[in-house]
Structure 1
Amino acid sequence: MESLNQTFAALADPTRRGIVAHLIRGEATVSELVQQFDLTQPTISSHLKVLESAGLISRSRKAQTRPCKLEPDGLQALDAWLERFRTVWEGNFERLDALLDDLQDRQPGKEKKP
């Protein structure tokens, strides 16, 4: 549960969500992220440390750069947690669809569906 709390805390910030969304397209260096978000290098680095601590990204070293990449495994706990709710929501929507169909069928002058 602690890793899930870290994930939610990391994604609570809109800049960090933006960084994650940017990294979905592929690796990016800190310099590229600084340009993308129009923030200072120390600010971006601070956000990256939070994302890395939550296991959402990883950073490597290539010559003078530190490319960042998304770590899909870091989102698995979040996805599993949300899946429980998704199942409930889908069941609720299916029951709502059935109720609406039933109400439409009961309208006077309305032909029944085959």
Structure 2
Amino acid sequence: MSRPLASADIFVAIADPTRRALLDKLRLGEQPVKELAEPFAMSLPAISQHLQILCEADLVQMRKSGRQRLYSLNPEPLKQISDWIRDYEQFWQDKLGALGNYLEENPCSDT
């Protein structure tokens, strides 16, 4: 049985702040790699490596137009993260609710 690439893991893909910034830029629409690389102090090959990881995680799609490679956001896989976080939101709401109930039932006295 083959193991999936670590870079195909959506959590690994979004762990890097540069990749999160690239996803934010792609929310504005499809862009070529040169445009995506402008705000970063790194080489085009380094940006391309980040984009490759995002493509492997299916967060970004690439298409060729002539000699250019154009990248666009595919937000659908982010639902996996949203679903995962939602479970923890419910956990913390339950815990905070229980704490609130405890504090109401056991008020602190200022003596």
TM-score when normalising by structure 2: 0.76
Matched pairs, number? 106
* Mapping for residues 93-104 of structure 1, pairs under 5 Å: 93-102=96-105
RMSD: 2.5
Following superposition, the deviation at residue 89 of structure 1 comes to 1.3
Segments of 5+ residues of structure 2 without an aligned counterpart are: none
TM-score when normalising by structure 1: 0.74
Equivalent residue number for residue 81 of structure 2: 78
Residues 29 and 65 in structure 1, CA contact (< 8 A), matched pair in contact too = yes
More strand by share: 2
Equivalent residue number for residue 41 of structure 2: 38
- In 1, the alpha carbon distance for the partners of 2:29 and 2:106 equals 49
- Residues 64, 101 of structure 1: alpha-carbon distance in 2 compared, 3 angstrom cutoff: farther
More helix by share: 1
Identity %: 29
Following superposition, the deviation at residue 47 of structure 1 comes to 0.5
Q: Larger Rg: 1 or 2?
A: 1
